[in-house]
Amino acid sequence: MLYGKFKFITFVNSQFKIKAMVNINLNSTINFEKTEIIEIKNSVIIINKQDKIVNFSKEEKKFIEKAIKSDETIINLSGFNNLKLVIVNNTEKADYKQAEALRIAGNKVFAESEKHKIEELNILSSNNCKNEILYLTEGVVLSSYKFLKYFKDAEKKITKLKTINILNTKAKQTEIDTLKTLINSVFVARDLVNEPVNYLTAEKLADEIKKIGKNSGFDVEVFGKNKIESLKMGGLLAVNKGSIDPPTFTIVTWKPKNAKNKKPIVLVGKGVVFDTGGLSLKPTAGSMDEMKCDMAGAAAVAGTIKTLAETKTPVYVIGLIPATDNRPGQNAYAPQDVIKMYNGSTVEVLNTDAEGRMILADALSYAKQFDPELVIDLATLTGSAVAAIGHYGIVGMGNAKPEIFDKLKQSGENTYERIVEFPFWEEYDELIKSDIADLKNVGGKYAGAITAGKFLEHFTDYPYIHLDIAGPAYLSSPDKYNGKNGTGVGVRLLFDFFKNM
């Protein structure tokens, strides 16, 4: 029954012109003594299929029962000047699929709410279930993202929905705050991915991460070209040779005093701010025209550490972000070049479009000095990963212990940023042997996602997981609450992983 005391938590969503942001700025507890749902204006009510339908008028009840019989999951009871949606939770187990169904419902709620130009929405669950409300809210708010910076009439396009009131007695303010922080970080990652390279050069990316660090309370150190040259990061410098913009190497540190882990977990994010393919030039349509997203790994690392710092999560994490654009200009590196990498290994370049592994390799070698407990890289690395599973998930592989990998995969289900584990057999090492150098940067026609991972493994000496996010990082058509273009994939996944560590 819905009689009783409700906590009334307000979730204010303000879309600014330049930066997409979500703000929850209120926490007021209001007692709803004997208030019925039917009296609450602009409401979304989650009901369970198996429960008795209460707190609705006779006509509404009839309508709901009929709709449930024909398997409808979103029932619209809106009347004049009042949006009223009933979400039918028809999955029996409270598992990750139910969570995802509610997020997707949240996406539809958002669309309906915008259609009716609603500014304030009340979300509640007929059996006062907390998680159902949080998943639905997550879906609504993730759907509210817009990248409006470059529109002349941005003000007009701003999301109408400004406030979500969560009517529930179990939801804690800290949980709501964490959700807000997390979604904000996803939005920051999406913003970074959606910025074109004529704004977001490697130096600008480093600057943006510095700004985020200053606001969120984590350390950021940036190496410029001179330092990168003195360190002899040959992979990063080779890819940068065709560019007039200098490369950067950004080190991000979140080390709270109460960290659970002594040895850090290192996250490495690919920061190719634009990938033309270099001399092995990409075709434009459906390929080069999406390549501002080739720094989505970097965005995910920045967004994750931002969330950890703002929520004061007690884990010691270091982020490494090598960044450059990849162009055919100037004295661009060429196929058949032999490059001496940061760790002293030599690489025969056979395709300049396989540049991500060149810059990541140097970062992975650099990570050794931290004696890490685990290293995870995120990279929009191969078309092969997309060819294998589309945009529905992340291709993962590695040599970390199965229980660690399983935890990460569990987080993948929790957040629906699912990971498919590919084999990491030693036979694949044969495919990247070169006639002239220690390695070559492409492995041939088959198993391209795996040979890329094997190439990277060569530069590691610690437990390692490679996540190829080429599929889900950037979408050319809208996909539920992930929207279109930059998705910010990886932030929710990794935060869940660290939160449950």
Q: Which residues pair with 60 in a beta bridge?
A: none
Rank residues 330 and 500 by Cβ distance to Zn ion and give the closer one. 330
Among 325, 353, 377, 468, binds Zn ion (CB under 5 A): 353
Closest CA to 295 of 248, 356, 352: 356
CA–CA gap between residue 208 and residue 200 (Å, rounded) = 9
Q: Quote the tokens at residue 365.
A: 């070698």
CB atoms within 10 A of CB 336: 10
Closest separation between CB of residue 237 and Zn ion, Å? 17
Rank residues 212 and 349 by Cβ distance to Zn ion and give the closer one. 349
268 and 299 Cβ atoms separated by less than 8 Å = no
Closest separation between CB of residue 272 and Zn ion, Å? 7
CA–CA gap between residue 243 and residue 278 (Å, rounded) = 10
The reply to whether 93 belongs to the active site is no
Among 275, 310, 362, 457, binds Zn ion (CB under 5 A): 275
Element (H, E) at 141: helix 130-143
In Å, how far from its chain's centre is CA 461? 27
Rank residues 132 and 348 by Cβ distance to Zn ion and give the closer one. 348
Rank residues 379 and 493 by Cβ distance to Zn ion and give the closer one. 379
Closest separation between CB of residue 384 and Zn ion, Å? 12
290 binds Zn ion (CB under 5 A): no
The reply to whether 357 belongs to the active site is yes
Closest separation between CB of residue 382 and Zn ion, Å? 9
Rank residues 325 and 355 by Cβ distance to Zn ion and give the closer one. 355
Instruction: Determine the residue with CB nearest Zn ion.
Output: 353
Helix axes 296-310, 491-499, angle to 10 degrees: 40
Binding mask 16-55 for Zn ion (x = CB under 5 A): ----------------------------------------
Going from the C-alpha of 70 to that of each of 54, 63, 109, 151, the distances in angstroms are 19, 11, 20, 43
Closest separation between CB of residue 441 and Zn ion, Å? 10
Task: Please choose, out of 80-88, 187-195, 236-244, 267-275, the segment that lies near Zn ion by the rule CB under 5 A.
Answer: 267-275
Task: Please choose, out of 220-228, 242-250, 275-283, 362-370, the segment that lies near Zn ion by the rule CB under 5 A.
Answer: 275-283
Going from the C-alpha of 33 to that of each of 3, 30, 133, 167, 302, the distances in angstroms are 6, 9, 21, 13, 45
Rank residues 73 and 326 by Cβ distance to Zn ion and give the closer one. 326
Task: Please choose, out of 40-48, 115-123, 197-205, 353-361, the segment that lies near Zn ion by the rule CB under 5 A.
Answer: 353-361
Closest separation between CB of residue 487 and Zn ion, Å? 19
Closest separation between CB of residue 472 and Zn ion, Å? 18
CA–CA gap between residue 69 and residue 77 (Å, rounded) = 16
Q: Quote the tokens at residue 248.
A: 């950067």
Beta strands (DSSP E) in 81-188 are 84-89, 120-125, 163-168
Rank residues 253 and 351 by Cβ distance to Zn ion and give the closer one. 351
Q: Which residues pair with 48 in a beta bridge?
A: 89
> From the candidates 84, 180, 282, 492, which is the catalytic residue?
282
Rank residues 103 and 270 by Cβ distance to Zn ion and give the closer one. 270
* Interface with Zn ion: number of residues (CB under 5 A): 3
Task: Please choose, out of 66-74, 129-137, 350-358, 369-377, the segment that lies near Zn ion by the rule CB under 5 A.
Answer: 350-358
Closest separation between CB of residue 291 and Zn ion, Å? 8
> From the candidates 103, 357, 409, 418, which is the catalytic residue?
357
- DSSP code per residue over 392-410: SSEEEEESS-HHHHHHHHH
Q: Residue 375 class from Cβ within 10 Å (0-12 exposed, 13-18 middle, 19+ buried)?
A: buried
CA–CA gap between residue 98 and residue 106 (Å, rounded) = 12
458 and 439 Cβ atoms separated by less than 8 Å = yes
For the annotated catalytic residues, the residue numbers are 282, 357
Interface positions with Zn ion (CB under 5 A): 275, 353, 355
